[in-house]
Amino acid sequence: MLTLQPIGTVRSPYSETGQIPKGPGARHLAEGVLEIRPELEAGLRDIEGFSHLFVLWVFDRADGADLLAHPPTDDRPHGVFATRSPRRPNPIGLTVVELLGREGPRLRVCGLDMLDGSPIVDIKPYLSSIPAEQIRRGWLAEAEQRQRESATPAARER
Ligand SMILES: C[S@@+](CC[C@H](N)C(=O)[O-])C[C@H]1O[C@@H](n2cnc3c(N)ncnc32)[C@H](O)[C@@H]1O
């Protein structure tokens, strides 16, 4: 058993999952606030220097878990650990957000894809040292290729 205490709460414009963009080409531009517990504010010192943050949070409204997930980006199932499905054995979410500003223990951010009230378990600076050409996108790249091939000529021109 593992017990974690949330460090804060996400304040997002989304009260229902249906409001959150998903599927091919979905862009996450929603702004909101990461409200960190005031007694942890000292832990945010120097965070302003980072443009982007990793936010680890909990899918607190997920209803169970499935080992096979059906992502909206594909018509084929995939192992849950090869997806970002909320229905996972440990319901932990990971979102990269842009840090817009900080007022004390409140971080204003852009790029939210979580429901209002989602518990935050950790925040870390976003850093990546992996060159883009070394990154493989697995089934997602294949699904995107199939979608491009099946698009009508008119849709392809748009
Ligand atoms: C596909 S997951 C990706 C989340 C995160 N970027 C990740 O990769 O872990 C995003 C979806 O999770 C669902 N979701 C968001 N917040 C949730 C919450 N607090 N509890 C349960 N489901 C949630 C919504 O359907 C949303 O579209």
Cβ within 8 Å of residue 118, ≥6 positions away: 9, 10, 12, 57, 58, 59, 60, 93
In order of their start, the domains of the chain are 8-132 (2.40.30.70)
Structure confidence at residue 152 (pLDDT): 64
Within 5-137, where are the H helices?
Answer: none
Q: Whose CA is nearest to atom 4 of ligand 1?
A: 93
Atom of ligand 1 nearest to the CA of 96: 6
Which atom belonging to ligand 1 lies closest to the Cα atom of 21?
27
| Residue with CA at minimum distance from ligand 1 atom 10 | 113
What is the structure's pLDDT at 46? Answer: 98
Indicate the residue type of 12: S
Q: Rounded to two decimals, what is the model's pTM?
A: 0.94
Number of other CB atoms surrounding residue 69 within 10 Å? 19
Q: What pLDDT shows up at residue 69? A: 98
| Ligand 1 nearest atom to the CA of residue 20, by list position | 27
What local confidence, expressed as pLDDT, does residue 99 receive?
A: 98
The confidence score (pLDDT) of residue 25 equals 83
Low-confidence ranges of the chain (pLDDT < 50): none
Strand ranges for 4-151 from DSSP E = 8-11, 30-36, 52-58, 68-69, 78-79, 92-103, 106-112, 119-125
Residue 150: per-residue pLDDT: 87
pLDDT at 157: 60
Cα of 84 vs centre of ligand 1, distance in Å, is 8
Residues near ligand 1 (Cβ within 6 A): 17, 20, 22, 59-62, 84, 86, 93-95, 113-115, 118
Residues 83, 66: contact at Cβ < 8 Å? no
